[in-house]
Amino acid sequence: MSPREAHTFRAQAVVLRHFEYGEADRILTLFTLERGKIKAIAKGVRKIASRKAGHLEPITQCSLFFAKGHDLSIITQAETINAFLKIKENLALTGQAAYVIELLERFTYEEGENRDLYNLLVDTLVRLEENPFPRTVIHYYEVRLLDLLGFRPDLQNCTVCGKEITAQDQYFYAHGGGAACPACGRAQTDAWAITMPALKYFRHFQRSRYSQIKTLAIPADVEKELGLLIEKYMTYLLERSLNTPRFIRDISRPYQAN
């Protein structure tokens, strides 16, 4: 490796977020194919003449060239691979994409390459643009993310007594890591009731490939229950509330004039 190569590198990345730094710079949080989650600085990107700014917006997949800096790597070149314009032009889809990114950012650290997570992120953003059932895309992402992070819930057997879960309303016991039968669930003050239809869809997402569920339209009442359940489980695992679900609910409410 030449001295130049030792101090520069390329990476394919999705911009998760950025914040202003100094008079004209931005610090970006990126999830890269080659190095996992990293932070980097884009110098002068807020200047009118900057050619990099449009390539470094959140929810953008890009090809980047870096120079190694003292504390942060410096983005010296940027080229857009996918700007996900359909997402950015649709407020509802923007909210869903922001939720995808928030989950990934909250659950991950700067700990090196994770190609499976990168591919899941990119695939999910592409699917949000293409699929008329965005909540189906989101639930598939949530379930796969839990799998990849090692938090896959057990939905086949009671996590308290070990008995097989039968076709009736059950409980979800976050502390145990999955479903609980009615007897055990009622005995746990922090277990949440879950109807059999919601549990059925949860299981379906766990065992299926995306091609098998991409046209799945979840009944509204079941989708609401499943969405709230997964959100509560994510909150339990993170030990803090998420920001984007409230935004998604706010923009989904019908407009009411004063």
Nearest to 104 by CA among 127, 126, 128, 120: 120
Residue 255 has pLDDT above 50, yes or no: no
Q: Output 258 or 120, whichever has higher pLDDT.
A: 120
**Section 19-27 average pLDDT:** 86
Domain ranges of the chain: 3-83, 90-252
Query: Residue 48: what pLDDT?
Result: 67
Q: What is the pTM of this model?
A: 0.92
Specify the CATH architecture of the domain 3-83: Beta Barrel (2.40)
Residue 122: CB atoms within 10 Å: 18
Using only C-alpha atoms, what is the Rg of the chain? 21
Mention every residue, 6+ apart, whose C-beta is less than 8 A from residue 62. 12, 13, 14, 15, 55, 56, 78, 79, 80, 81
Q: What pLDDT, in 10s, does the model give residues 29-68?
A: 999 999 999 999 998 777 766 777 778 999 999 999 999 8
Q: What pLDDT, in 10s, does the model give residues 233-252?
A: 999 999 999 999 999 988 87
Residue 27 has pLDDT above 70, yes or no: yes
Nearest to 251 by CA among 59, 85, 91, 87: 91
**Class (C level, CATH) for 90-252:** mainly alpha
